[in-house]
Every structure is written in structure tokens, then in C-alpha cells.
Amino acid sequence: MATFDEQRLDDERALAEVDPGLSLRALAGAGAQVRTAVHAAAEAGLDRLEGLGPRGVVVGAAGGSACVGDLLEALTRVGGAVPVQTVTSAPLPGWVGALDLVVAVSQSGRAAGALALAAEAGRRGASLLTVGAPDSPLADLSARHHGIHVPVRVDGAGSRTSMWAQAAPVLLAADVLGLASVPPGLLAELADVLDDRARRSGPATESFDNPAKLLACEVAESAAIVLGDGPFGGVAARRAAEMFGRTGRMPVTSGALPDAASQVVACFDGPLAGQGDAGGGGRDIFADPFLDGPSRPPLRLVLLRDTSPLPPPDPRAADGAELVDDPSVAARRLAQTVESVADDAGVRISRVDSDASSPLLRLASHVALTDFAATYLAIGHGYDPATSPHVQLLRGARPGHA
């Protein structure tokens, strides 16, 4: 079994040997991906979507691109007048027709799932927006069906390390369509957030001062649960769990508050929690691995926390009026309660904080750090973060999901 060697994370030669596909470099360029994609969207004529007024929107994305659909759903969940649904493979939902918009996303432009969905959208007469490599089968399909294709090319990056290049045009489309407010200025801020995370979490920053390397070390020795709050926190938590599994090769579960609170807290009195160890959280020094079997990895709670300033108190509270909690305040309170319960139970806790005022910017900050951490997790175990031999075996059976 591969052992995690944290010294690899600060060794330039080891990083070069284990990461020949330059996954870390691609993640470090996420901010540049956003800026380039915004320019490509303008050149592609994304403004032609203005006034389209679709009845519904379907996002077709799978694998490393799937987070794009989750992100659009979170953006439009509150206040959106048009339903948004994400699908990973054909067929399209039965209700999709000429009054609807289908967005097909594939970094390579060759994913079978995105191609099948785009082709079906064309046959049904739906409006079509595609995002992917230029001069690709997806670009050709879009042209044949009079769609808009936004070409994104990220040299040396796969779908998992080019998420923001794929997401930026879709976010701009949401703004043009009036589904959500995502002006170019917000995307410029998002790119800056990604640049800042890359400076603090990139390979040049040593482990003792690098939050992503520290998180990788903590997850490597744990059975981790990633927990976010609300729609955006849920997207970030799911993305983190997928990256820890697909890139880092570690099975990690995820949840979103408030729904996952009971499920997560119930694990705190289970066999992996701190109170299940000898001495209330410490490893039993008298345990014999030959007689007692190997020890199980301890539970770790990875909290994606919103540390932005709370909104000012409602002045009606001073008059004794009965108020309904602001959802963001209620979510913060619940997260603090879960954290307190975990601490009391002896569960190890990793905190990933973001004080950005915008939910989208907080999500970007959380995703950027956990993407780096998942990549360091693979490298620390000696695995190429870009390539899995076992995933290669699936490509013939599931070409759209590899």
C-alpha cells in the first residue's frame, strides 16, 4: 500500500516526477483561465443570447465538467424565474423543446455525453450553447445546429484542472439571459480570488505555510467528511469530495447544511470518531496490529466555512418583534453547532475559511484550495494526479465520463 510522504510536496524534483502532466501548473492558472474565457465568450458573440427568454435550461456536463452545471443551478436557485437542470448523459429530459436552451460543456469537445446531448438538442429544435475546445466535434455540432460555441483551450489541462475556463462562459450566459447577476466585474474579482489562492497554495509555498498542503496531510491520515452550508457550500463540498476521490485516490464523503447535519453528527458517536479510540481520542499505544488488526483511520470533519461579516441585526429585534432568521445567519449558526459537537466528540477538524462577501467568490476560494489539496494528496502518495490506470480501463465502456 502506498504511504503518504509529505516531503514530496516541497521537493521540486519529486513534484516534477510525479506530476508530469503539470496539474499543479494548470490549477495555478485558474485566474488566467477565467480572463481568457471571458474574452473568448465575447468574441463568440455570447450577447446573441440576450432576449432569448428560454422556458427552461439544461446543462449537459459530466466528469470534471459536472461542477459547471451544479454551479449554475446554485446561482439560479434563489430568485431564478427559469428552471435549470443538470444532466450527465443522454437522453435530455422529455420536456425539452424549441422553447428551451441546452448548454453542453466538454473541455476536450469530444466527451460522448456532451456530444449526444448537443445532437439531441439540435434535433428537438432547442437553442444551443456549447463550451469546449475549438475545432472539435462539439464545435462542429454547434455550428450545424446554429448554436453558439465558446472555444476554450487550456494547454496541458484536463477537464478537472480547467473547470473555471469552462464555467466562466456559462456564468456570463446566465447574466446575459437574466438568470442571475454575474457581471464581468464579478468575474474579474473571481479571477483575482483564484490568483490569490494560487499564490498561497501553489507548490512554491512550503508546507508549514501552505493551507492546501496542510489539508492534504490531514486528509491522508483520516476518513474525511467535507461539509458546506447552503447551495454554494454544497457545490464546493461535492466538488472537493469528487477531487479527493478522482484525483487524490481517497474516498471522501460530502454533505451540505442544513440537510446533512443529522447524518454527519451521527457519525461523531460512531467507531471512527475520537471517543472510539483509547483515551478519548488518542491511538492505543498497546494495540498489536497482528493480534488486533490494523487501526482504522480516524474521522475528520473538513468544514468549508463562511467567515464573511454577518449582516447587521434587524432593528425590529429591539422592539421584541418575532423575526425569521436570515438564512445565511441560520446556516452559520448551524455550522458552528456542528463544529462544536465535533470538537466535544473528539473528532479532528480541518477548517477552510473564506471571508469573501459574495457566495460565488467564497465558492471559488473553497474550490481552489481543495483542488490543490486533492492534487497534493495524489502526489504525496506517489500517484500521477492526472492519470489513473483503472480509469483508463473504463474509457471504452464509458467514454463520456472518463
Q: Report helix angle 359-380 to 230-246, nearest 10.
A: 20
Per-residue exposure over 278-313, b if at least 16 CB sit within 10 Å of its own CB, e if not: eeeeeeeeeeeeeeeeeeeebbbbbbbbbebeeeee
Q: Is residue 213 located within the same domain as residue 236? A: yes
Q: Is residue 56 located within the same domain as residue 103? A: yes
User: What pLDDT does 238 receive?
Assistant: 96
Tell me whether residue 8 is in a domain.
Answer: no
Q: Is residue 162 located within the same domain as residue 210? A: no
Residue 266 CA to residue 255 CA, distance in Å, equals: 13
User: What pLDDT does 330 receive?
Assistant: 84
User: What pLDDT does 166 receive?
Assistant: 97
Burial of 339 per CB tally in 10 Å (0-12, 13-18, 19+): middle
Residue written as cell 439531441? 120
pTM: 0.91
Residue 239 CA to residue 244 CA, distance in Å, equals: 9
Q: Edge-to-edge, what's the strand order for the sheet holding 101-106?
A: 84-87, 57-60, 101-106, 127-132, 148-151
Q: Is residue 231 located within the same domain as residue 375? A: yes
Tell me whether residue 255 is in a domain.
Answer: yes
Q: Is residue 118 located within the same domain as residue 145? A: yes
Q: Is residue 38 located within the same domain as residue 64? A: yes
Q: Is residue 188 located within the same domain as residue 243? A: no
- Single out the residue in 136, 170, 192 at which a domain terminates: 192
Tell me whether residue 386 is in a domain.
Answer: no
Question: Sign of dihedral through CA atoms 390, 396, 401, 402?
Answer: positive
Tell me whether residue 86 is in a domain.
Answer: yes
- Single out the residue in 134, 164, 192 at which a domain terminates: 192
- Single out the residue in 160, 192, 224 at which a domain terminates: 192
User: What pLDDT does 104 receive?
Assistant: 98
* Structural domain count of the chain: 2
CB 31 within 8 A of CB 198: yes
Tell me whether residue 365 is in a domain.
Answer: yes
Q: Is residue 48 located within the same domain as residue 171? A: yes
Residue 250 CA to residue 244 CA, distance in Å, equals: 6
What secondary structure, in 3-state letters, does 158-211 show?
Answer: CCCCCHHHHHHHHHHHHHHHCCCCCCHHHHHHHHHHHHHHHHHHCCCCCHHHCH
Tell me whether residue 389 is in a domain.
Answer: no
Tell me whether residue 69 is in a domain.
Answer: yes
Q: Is residue 341 located within the same domain as residue 299? A: yes
Q: Is residue 301 located within the same domain as residue 338? A: yes
Q: What is the CATH number of the domain that holds 176?
A: 3.40.50.10490
Tell me whether residue 13 is in a domain.
Answer: no
Q: Is residue 354 located within the same domain as residue 247? A: yes
**Cα end-to-end span (Å), the chain:** 25
Q: Is residue 50 located within the same domain as residue 112? A: yes
pLDDT values of the chain reduced to their tens digit, one per residue, 402 residues: 689 999 999 999 999 999 999 999 999 999 999 999 999 999 999 999 999 999 999 999 998 899 999 999 999 987 778 999 999 999 999 999 999 999 999 999 999 999 999 999 999 999 999 999 999 999 999 999 999 999 998 877 789 999 999 999 999 999 999 999 999 899 999 999 999 999 999 999 999 999 999 999 999 999 999 999 989 999 999 999 999 999 999 999 999 999 999 999 999 999 888 644 433 444 555 555 555 555 678 999 999 999 988 777 666 555 544 445 567 788 888 999 999 999 999 999 999 999 998 999 999 999 999 999 999 999 999 999 998 888 777 765 655 454
User: What pLDDT does 141 receive?
Assistant: 96
Task: Domain of residue 186: give its range.
Answer: 21-192
